[in-house]
Amino acid sequence: MCPESTYKSEEELIDQLKNKKETFWSNESLKPYYTLEKNLPIPTGDLHEAEKLLQRFTPYLEEVFPETKKMNGIIESPIRGIPSMQQELEKRYQQSIPGHLYVKCDHDLPIAGSIKARGGIYEVLKYAEGLAIKHGKLTKDDDYSKLANPEFKQFFSNFSIAVGSTGNLALSIGIMSAVLGFQVTVHMSVDAKEWKKELLRDKGVVVVEHDRDFSFAVNEGRRQCQEQKNCYFIDDENSKDLFLGYAVAALRLNEQLKQENITVNAEHPLVVYLPCGVGGGPAGITYGLKYVFGDHVHCYFAEPTSSPCMMLGLATGKHEDISVQDIGLDNKTEADGLAVGRPSALAGRLVENMVNGIYTINDENLYKLLALLHESEGISLEPSALAGMYGPSSIDIQQQLGHMYGSRLSHATHLVWATGGSLVPKDIMEGFVSKGTSFLREEE
């Protein structure tokens, strides 16, 4: 069974979360987009500015990351229909999924192989551009491929960048900063996988290992950076730039859907399922999607049963003032990217009237979905990235959508955001698949 909203009060909801019962929370504060757009704390014009900045950097990105050449220096991932997985899900959960199921392949995003690549790379590039312009080395009309010259590496080596992460943000910031020439330090939470740390060390990144969770790693990183001269901290809990970097995905998705002749309007809803950690990635994308598609897009977030920080923050209205540890959860999950105990202050407030709902999923089910997707579609994802795959089978979500669209739901496009996986070493991925397969066999 997929998670269901069986609670009657906030207390009962918290009890379910405490007991790690898979749960669906419906957002009663959802508002029509036209009532929100005038007062957004981040003006939507900034989204187009972010897109323009990424455009200016395309000659540079093509130069230093040749794998981006085929996309002309744009860091973007494709969308892909997954009809076999749709059938598998329908069979498995005995729940029909009216419409078509697609996956957004951010696991294949160039350079850092995860949803965090967009935001992380954007903020590093923005910082680099600002420094180079301030010191008279660059104008916005220049060909940015000149940033690959040794003179620029030398210049950026006078500055340092730091970040706190569960792994994937560190990969994107570490890789991008090191290539530009910055000194870069990543503060890794206890959840961060060994291979991510090794990969970063190989690129010349300083990796600081913390034996506590994400919020601690971020606080420590912020504190240590503040004590240094010329250190710039990229703050996954509060950064507007990271947020805008994630949000750019919506503008790109709009183009991709058009290319695939997929319509989004009152007759053809778009339903998007996004794994959520601290919230910046999914909230940034939701903010962008609402700007592009208004009320024709419906966004659902997915969190591990051990780390439902965004659900807790939104359901109680306490946002960053409450953590999963406050209700007795351990914040321990195999979904390392989602192992976050306290939600982002910025992200939660930005989406409190935009996100349709949030559900939780346990680790065993993440692994089962991992194996099912691998078998049915040949797509390999890391455990965190499967959280979104549960949503289309949720009876609550289908009922919500059914109330809104009735039989028109058969025209829906369901888009599961596959948030990471292509950099996972082969042997580790094989281990994930066989673990998921064993869980599936145990059921038989």
Ligand X SMILES: Cc1ncc(COP(=O)(O)O)c(C=O)c1O
The residues that touch ligand X, with contacts defined as CB under 6 A, are 114-116, 166, 168-169, 275-282, 337-338, 340, 382, 384-385, 419-420
Q: 113 or 181, CB closer to ligand X?
A: 113
Q: Are 412 and 401 in contact (CB under 8 A)?
A: yes
CB of 441 to ligand X, least distance (A): 26
Q: How far is the CB of 385 from ligand X (least distance, A)?
A: 5
Q: Specify the residue, 144 or 432, whose C-beta has the smaller distance to ligand X.
A: 432
The minimum distance between CB 277 and ligand X, in angstroms, equals 3
Minimum CB separation of residue 17 from ligand X in Å reads 18
Distance separating alpha carbons of residues 428 and 198, to the nearest angstrom = 14
**Which one, 269 or 280, has the nearer CB to ligand X?**
280
* Cα gap 219→301, rounded to integer Å: 25
**Residue 304: which region, alpha, beta or left (left: phi > 0; alpha: psi -120 to 50)?**
beta
Nearest to 242 by CA among 199, 275, 285: 285
Q: Which residue is nearest to ligand X (CB)?
A: 337
Rounded to the nearest whole angstrom, what is the least distance from the CB of residue 424 to ligand X in the complex?
10
Closest to ligand X by CB, 114 vs 215, is: 114
d(CA 443, CA 441): 5
| DSSP state at residue 222 | H
Minimum CB separation of residue 306 from ligand X in Å reads 15
CB of 167 to ligand X, least distance (A): 6
Three-class DSSP category at 68: helix
* Nearest to ligand X of 73, 221 (CB atom): 221
Q: Report residue 270 as tokens.
A: 């778009």
- Residue with token string 């192992």: 339
For residue 442, count other CB atoms closer than 10 A to its CB. 9
User: Could you give the CA distance from residue 123 to residue 207 in angstroms, rounded to a whole number?
Assistant: 19
Q: Find the angle CA(100)-CA(101)-CA(102) to the nearest 5 degrees.
A: 120
| Beta carbon nearer to ligand X, 50 or 409 | 50
Q: Which is nearer to ligand X, 241 or 382 (CB)?
A: 382
